[in-house]
């Protein structure tokens, strides 16, 4: 599902204008990005948390040059689904083989 698909679904369920719905979705995503850029986590009860995870410095490998490189410490955005959301997916989505 893409962002356009989500917008279309919301329009069909709510009857809102397409431009208004796009603005709402864009604003929602922008606020999450801004919070994470400030180092703040975003908690959405019943859905999950958008968090900033710290990755420590580590030794990596540059395969084509066959030498070791240092990967510096950095922060990455992550999503942690809520327990209820995880259980819902486990229950309803068939296992793919």
Domain chopping of the chain, boundaries:
1-40, 41-97
pLDDT tens digits for range 34-85: 999 999 999 999 999 999 999 999 999 999 998 999 999 999 999 999 999 9
Give yes or no for residue 97 having a pLDDT over 90: no
Cα 46 from chain centroid (whole Å): 15
Coil, strand or helix at 79: strand
Hey, what CATH topology would domain 41-97 get?
HU Protein; Chain A (4.10.520)
Q: Which residues, at least 6 apart from 43, have a Cβ–Cβ distance to it below 8 Å?
A: 49
pTM: 0.80
Q: From 54, 53, 32, select the one nearest 42 (Cα to Cα).
A: 32
């Amino acid at each position: 599902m893409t962002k356009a698909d989500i917008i279309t679904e919301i329009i069909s369920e709510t009857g809102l204008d397409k431009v208004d719905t796009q603005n709402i979705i864009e604003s929602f995503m922008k606020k999450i990005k801004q919070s994470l850029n400030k180092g703040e986590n975003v908690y959405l009860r019943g859905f999950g948390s958008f968090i900033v995870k710290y990755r420590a410095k580590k030794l990596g490998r540059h395969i084509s040059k066959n030498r070791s490189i240092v990967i510096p410490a950095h922060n990455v955005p992550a999503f942690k689904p809520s327990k209820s959301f995880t259980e819902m997916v486990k229950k309803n989505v068939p296992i793919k083989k």
